[in-house]
Structure 1
Amino acid sequence: MKRILRIIACFALIAVVGVGACFAVSCKGNNSADDKADNSLIIAPGEVQGDMISLLTQGPSGNTSEYTLTVVLNADCPDNMKAINWSIAWKNASSTWATGKVVTDYVTVTPTSDGALTAKVKKLAAFGEQVIVTATSRVVSSLKATATIDCAKRLSNIKSNNSNRIELCVNDKLNGLCFSSFDKRFSFNFDVGTIATTPKESSISYKLTGDEGLSYINQQIINLMAEFGLSTQKYSFNAGKLFDENQMFRLINLFTYPADDPDFPNSAAFKACCNQFVELMQSEAGTYMINVSISTYYDNKLINTVSDDFSCEFNSSKFTPYNLVTSVSFADGSVIF
Structure 2
Amino acid sequence: MKITTVGIDLAKAVFQVHGVNEHGKAVLRKQLKRDQVAAFFANMPPCLVGMEACSSAHHWARKLRGLGHDVRLMAPQFVKPYVKTNKNDMADAEAICEAVSRPNMRFVPIKSIEQQAVLTLHRVRQGFVKARTAQANQIRGLLGEFGLVIPQGIAHIANRVPELIEDASNELPGSVRQLVERLLEHLKVLASQVNEIETQIVAWHRMNDDSRKLARMPGIGPITASAMVASMGDARSFKNGRQVSAWLGLVPKQNSSGGKAVLLGMSKRGDSYLRTLLIQGARSVIYATERKKEVVDSWLSRLLRRRNANVAAVALANKNARIIWALLSGNREFRSDYATANSAA
Q: TM-score, with normalisation over the residues of structure 1?
A: 0.22
- The TM-score, its normalising length taken from structure 2, stands at 0.22
| Structure that is richer in strand per residue | 1
Q: Could you say which structure has the higher helix fraction?
A: 2
